Amino acid sequence: MLIFDAHLDLAWNALEWNRNLELPAAQVREFEKQFVDIVPGDLTVTYPEMRRGRVGVCIATLLPRLHRREPQLTFYQSRESAYAAAHGQRHYYRAMCAKGVLRELPDLASLTSHVEAWNAASAAAAAPPPIGYILSMEGAPPILSPDQVHKWHADGLRIVGPAHYGPNEYCHGTGSQGGLTADGRALLKEMRAAGLLLDATHLADQSFWEALDVFDGPVLASHHNCRALVPGDRQLTDEQLRALIERGAVIGAAFDNWMIVPGYVKQVTPAAEVSLEQIADHIDHVCQLAGNARHSGIGTDLDGGFGREQSPGDLDTIADVQQLRGIFERRGYPHADIEGIFWRNFVEFFGRAWGEDATELERATAL
């Protein structure tokens, strides 16, 4: 079954960790063995692994972040540096497109045709097409001012998550408390005018509610789990989940272990104590709140600053996300609901967000 992964930091992994994502995971792991304490644990995402696992479409990020032991050096010290880093990542994606590895999906026509091509290739047991991506930004500092939003949209950006960790010029993110700044409110209004979508992921609670008040356009949560199952501000409360569901959002389940089970301690708790079954618990919780399976999806965040050491123990690479199908089948989920969670819910979300009738989209992308 096709998988739509709503959050992968592909360019960041290629540039920050100097990884050749065109290689099989085993080959990259073997190369990285010689670099002790330089890279996170064994990587889980490369393009061959995505193709093997039928992760044929994703939301790929521009991530203005460094990986440094000193927290104050994790984020760029100037917005101009963040701006330059994000543009470097954007050009990486374009280079992969020119090579035929990736395909940019900036509108509904390209997304629909891409999904059709992947499903047709599967039905014919043929080689899959390139991997499709929708361009997103995780943390808005690369947007130097709200009036630059339209330029970013012209450059292919389609989604902005204003927050990451801590406060920035626009809002407060995970691990901090506070609301939107004046520029943050202006940013959201310019995003709405330009047709950019809002990713609520990482917004601190006050910023979350203020953002939903200011931004009346389509909103998603690309990689979030449930605070009812795992305490902490990185997860969404039931009240937040209900608000997103009312707005027609889809919530992608994240695969970072400390967000999956309570009490997980990074670099201490064995990865084997976490499983894909517990990912399914978070997805099921969203389904129970919604009363249906139309608001749940997958947003793995695999290799988002961590590797196999901090991923579910029964996952070796992203290809193993396919195991969720059997888990949901054993739980009694019908095929249509599993298909929705795997890919259709996010595809139909973009159909609504980009102004097309969801019924027509469903007909166009039917298996």
Q: Compute and round to an integer the Cα radius of gyration of the chain.
A: 19
Helix (H, G, I), strand (E, B) or coil at 62: strand
Query: Is 60 exceeded by the pLDDT of residue 117?
Result: yes
pLDDT of residue 355: 83
Q: Could you tell me the pTM of the whole model?
A: 0.95
Strand, helix or coil for residue 183 = helix
Q: What pLDDT, on the 0 to 100 scale, is given for residue 359? A: 42
* Mean pLDDT, residues 129-138 taken together: 98
pLDDT at 367: 40
- Give every CB contact of residue 332 below 8 A, 6+ residues apart in sequence: none
**Percentage of the chain with pLDDT > 70?**
97
State the average pLDDT over residues 95-121: 97
Supply the pLDDT for residue 364: 43
Mean pLDDT, range 270-277, rounded to an integer:
95
- How large is the average pLDDT for residues 252-265? 97
pLDDT at 133 (0 to 100): 98
Judge whether residue 142 has pLDDT over 50: yes
pLDDT, residue 363, reads 44
For residues 173-198, average pLDDT: 98
Of the CA atoms within 13 Å of residue 85, those in its CB half-sphere come to 26
Above 70 in pLDDT, residue 60? Answer: yes
Top pLDDT among 128 and 200 is at 200
Under 8 Å CB-to-CB from 209, ≥6 apart: which residues? 243
Task: Name the architecture of domain 3-364.
Answer: Alpha-Beta Barrel (3.20)
The bridge status of strand 102-104 relative to strand 55-62 is unpaired
What average pLDDT does the chain have? 95
Whether 362 has a pLDDT exceeding 50, the answer reads no
Alpha helices (H) in the chain, listed in sequence order? 10-16, 25-32, 47-52, 79-98, 108-123, 149-154, 182-194, 205-214, 238-246, 276-290, 323-330, 335-339, 345-353, 358-364
Q: So what's the pLDDT on residue 38?
A: 75
Q: Cβ distance 159 to 137 under 8 Å?
A: yes
SS3 call for 55: strand
User: What pLDDT digit, counting tens, does each position of 315-340 carry?
Assistant: 999 999 999 999 999 999 999 999 99
Q: What is the pLDDT of residue 358?
A: 41
Q: Hey, where are the domains in the chain?
A: 3-364
Averaged pLDDT for residues 133-150: 98
Q: Categorize the per-residue pLDDT at 254 as very low, low, confident or very high, splitting at 50, 70 and 90.
A: very high
Q: SS3 for 122?
A: helix
Instruction: Give residue 356's pLDDT.
Output: 52
